[in-house]
């Protein structure tokens, strides 16, 4: 049963989740190549006083709609520019998502315990934590879809809230459209139609408020798209609708991910440490689905199936794309865990908690045994020792609770395995930073406040170099190509072109990987002077000048 303490529990979930997702977000610099992409766009918009057209490399870009840039710009004005501000709103939305799953669990399960486990599973799932503590559109997009479907289910279950729920469904869908595009409406609408068809209640949508809500959704979402078309015409249409939507559907941006099993493995792996429970919950619920039992579970399965099918058919696959089904999966897992605890199926709990404990122990020992390999690339072994210690200690803690038959405590202890790893950022950030960000590298390059120049680097580093130095950047990649969504940036892809450019300048700076010297090792001998100014993590900072 649900009691009067629910509002305070919702507030507690939100407060604790905010603390968890915000904790340590300013320690590690913005990472390459994606976090700096969003931060640099917001930075250039702020410098221009521009609130409508996204810019990068001083030119309009249309890879994503406007909401994420608004969020970063507002946070930067309030909190100052930097990693904490850039990651602020994804973290807040992650906390809002945990609160919404708890609320939806109460509404659907009518059981506080199932709602609690569902919220805990979502809050501590590996991929959800990662997306909640980094700058991507996917967390904000996921939470808007979650609130859209929460609003619908409220309307479906409580006729007295139908108007409020239907309008909320469309308002949150409109915000999702402003965050990532048309899928913001397609995903929730597809879920609702599939669910109502299975329930044989499509007539539920035969209501004037669904039409009013759709008009409201269009009124909120379309003005920015119309404005972009009026300002930029076919350039916007081609880049946003063709290149970033249709082309990603028919062509793989990351070819190694274009496998049928990519998303199934991502879902299972992304729910670490709840992997076993994720698989088992799906199996159990699909059996119930065939038997025609469990209306709320039907809704969750329709939600999962809609998201999965939409992204599975596309050839461009990324782990973050599948995040919108995580709230529904967390609810299935949370309900399943409480069923196991209530039915005293302790063997399954032992298996579910024992698998991550065993895996952590193996990883901890394996990391120690493999330290000679790490020493070739990393200057400090402290991160490896810390990871090993945490893994072994956490595995032991889970084992102790299981031996004492404290199964609920074992699961709660297991849930927070990422907490010490997040805390490690305060101790190990200096060892980690050079391998995830070019902030340290950039301090050895001229800053735009002084002299203007061009820095050559890889596609992976280009956005970060631009963000941290403000200098013009060129891509150095023999035989390579521009980004999947091309940036207005110079590309050196053949030797004659590179040689001509280097001869035309008194000196040129470059940032290259230690284990990938790129084209610089093939420069005509005796014609150029190549100086290594510094080595930072995996990168060399180099200055090239024509030989006198």
DSSP string computed for 155-180? HHH-GGGHHHHHHHHHHHHHHHHHHH
For residue 512 the two structure tokens come to 């290259």
The model's pLDDT over 128-179, given as tens digits with 9 standing for 90+, comes to 999 999 999 999 999 999 999 999 999 999 999 999 999 999 999 999 999 9
Mean pLDDT within 261-289: 93
Query: Both 216 and 319 in a single domain?
Result: yes
* Residue 372 in this model has a pLDDT that exceeds 80: no
**Beta strands 472-476; 490-492: pairing state:** parallel
- Asked which of 397, 430, 463 is the last residue of a domain, the reply is 430
Query: Both 98 and 214 in a single domain?
Result: yes
Query: Both 328 and 384 in a single domain?
Result: no
What's the whole-number average pLDDT of the chain? 91
Please report where in the chains the tokens 């870009």 appear, as a residue: 61
Structure-model confidence comparison of residues 519 and 171, the more confident one: 171
> Is the separation of the CB atoms in 387 and 364 below 8 Å?
yes
3, part of any domain = no
The sign of the dihedral angle between the CA atoms of 339, 343, 345, 349 is positive
Query: Both 86 and 154 in a single domain?
Result: yes
Give the distance from CA 189 to its chain's centroid.
23
Query: Both 363 and 300 in a single domain?
Result: no
User: In the chain, how many domains are there?
Assistant: 3
For residues 305 and 286, give the distance between their C-alpha atoms in angstroms, rounded to a whole number.
Answer: 11
32: left (phi over 0), alpha (psi -120 to 50) or beta: beta
Query: Both 323 and 350 in a single domain?
Result: no
The model's pLDDT over 64-88, given as tens digits with 9 standing for 90+, comes to 999 999 999 999 999 999 999 999 9
The model's pLDDT over 436-476, given as tens digits with 9 standing for 90+, comes to 999 999 988 877 556 678 899 988 899 999 999 999 999 98
4, part of any domain = no
Query: Both 263 and 158 in a single domain?
Result: yes
- Asked which of 399, 430, 461 is the last residue of a domain, the reply is 430
> Is the separation of the CB atoms in 378 and 431 below 8 Å?
yes
> Is the separation of the CB atoms in 326 and 149 below 8 Å?
no
Closest CA to 236 of 173, 174, 181: 181
The model's pLDDT over 320-344, given as tens digits with 9 standing for 90+, comes to 999 999 999 999 999 999 999 998 8
Q: What is the residue-wise DSSP string for 302-351?
A: HHHHHHHHHHHS-S---GGGGGGGHHHHHHHHHHHHHHHHHHT-HHHHHH
- Altogether, the residues listed in the chain come to a count of 548
Query: Both 234 and 371 in a single domain?
Result: no
Query: Both 257 and 358 in a single domain?
Result: no
Structure-model confidence comparison of residues 525 and 77, the more confident one: 77
For residues 224 and 236, give the distance between their C-alpha atoms in angstroms, rounded to a whole number.
Answer: 12
Query: Both 192 and 217 in a single domain?
Result: yes
Query: Both 460 and 426 in a single domain?
Result: no
Partners of 56 in beta bridges: 59
Mean pLDDT within 525-547: 88
For residues 227 and 419, give the distance between their C-alpha atoms in angstroms, rounded to a whole number.
Answer: 44
Secondary structure tally for the chain: helices H, strands E: 25, 8
Cβ-proximal residues to 78 (8 Å cutoff; 6+ apart), any chain: 85
The model's pLDDT over 293-322, given as tens digits with 9 standing for 90+, comes to 668 999 999 999 999 999 999 999 999 999
Burial class (CB in 10 A: 0-12, 13-18, 19+), 131: buried
Three-state secondary-structure class, residue 60: strand
Query: Both 527 and 408 in a single domain?
Result: no
Range of the domain at 487: 439-546
Q: How far from 436 is each of 155, 407, 440, 483, 539, CA to CA, in Å?
A: 45, 38, 10, 19, 11
Three-state secondary-structure class, residue 64: coil
């Amino acid at each position: 049963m649900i009691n009067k303490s629910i509002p305070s529990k919702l507030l507690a979930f939100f407060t604790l989740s905010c603390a968890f997702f915000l904790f340590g977000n300013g320690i590690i610099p913005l990472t390459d190549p994606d976090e700096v992409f969003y931060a640099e766009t917001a930075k250039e918009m702020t410098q221009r006083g521009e609130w409508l057209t996204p810019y990068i490399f001083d030119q309009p870009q249309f890879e994503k709609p406007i909401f994420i840039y608004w969020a970063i710009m507002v946070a930067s004005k309030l909190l100052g520019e930097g990693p904490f501000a850039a990651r602020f709103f994804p973290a807040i939305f992650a906390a809002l998502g945990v609160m919404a799953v708890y609320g939806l669990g109460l509404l659907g399960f009518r059981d506080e315990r199932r709602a609690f486990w569902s919220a805990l599973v979502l809050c501590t799932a590996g991929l959800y934590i990662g997306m909640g503590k980094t700058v991507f559109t996917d967390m904000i997009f996921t939470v808007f879809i979650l609130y859209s479907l929460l609003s619908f289910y409220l309307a479906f279950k409580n006729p007295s809230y139908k108007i409020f729920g239907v309008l909320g469904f469309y308002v949150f869908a409109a915000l999702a459209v402003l965050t990532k595009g048309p899928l913001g409406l397609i995903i929730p609408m597809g879920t609702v139609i599939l669910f109502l068809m299975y329930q044989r209640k499509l007539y539920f949508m035969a209501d004037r408020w669904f039409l009013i809500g759709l008009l409201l959704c269009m009124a909120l979402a379309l003005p920015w798209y119309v404005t972009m078309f009026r300002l930029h015409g076919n350039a916007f249409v081609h880049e946003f609708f063709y290149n970033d939507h249709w082309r990603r559907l028919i062509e793989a941006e990351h070819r190694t991910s274009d496998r049928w099993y990519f998303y199934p493995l991502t879902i299972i792996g992304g729910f670490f440490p709840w992997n076993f429970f994720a698989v088992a919950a799906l199996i159990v619920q699909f059996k119930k689905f065939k038997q025609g039992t469990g209306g709320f579970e039907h809704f969750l399965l329709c939600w999962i199936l809609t998201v999965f099918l939409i992204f599975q058919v596309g050839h461009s696959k990324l782990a973050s794309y599948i995040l919108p089904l995580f709230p529904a999966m967390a609810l299935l897992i949370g309900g399943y865990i409480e069923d196991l605890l209530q039915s005293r199926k302790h063997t399954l709990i032992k298996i579910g908690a024992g698998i991550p404990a065993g895996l952590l122990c193996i990883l901890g020992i394996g990391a120690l045994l493999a330290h000679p390999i790490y020493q070739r690339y990393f200057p400090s072994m402290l991160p490896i020792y810390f990871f090993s210690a945490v893994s072994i200690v956490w595995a032991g803690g889970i084992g102790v609770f299981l031996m004492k038959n404290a199964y609920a405590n074992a699961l709660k202890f297991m849930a927070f395995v990422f907490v010490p790893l997040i805390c490690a950022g305060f101790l190990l950030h200096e060892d980690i930073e050079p391998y995830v960000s070019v902030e340290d590298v950039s301090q050895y390059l001229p800053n735009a406040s002084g002299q203007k120049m061009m820095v050559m680097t890889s596609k992976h580093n280009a956005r970060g170099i631009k963000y941290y130095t403000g200098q013009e950047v060129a891509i150095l990649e023999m035989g390579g190509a521009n980004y999947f969504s091309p940036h207005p940036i110079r590309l050196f892809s053949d030797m004659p072109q590179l040689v001509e450019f280097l001869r035309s300048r008194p000196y040129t700076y470059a940032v290259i990987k230690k284990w990938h010297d790129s084209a610089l090792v093939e420069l005509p001998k005796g014609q150029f002077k190549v100086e290594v100014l510094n080595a930072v993590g995996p990168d060399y900072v180099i200055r090239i000048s024509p030989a006198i």
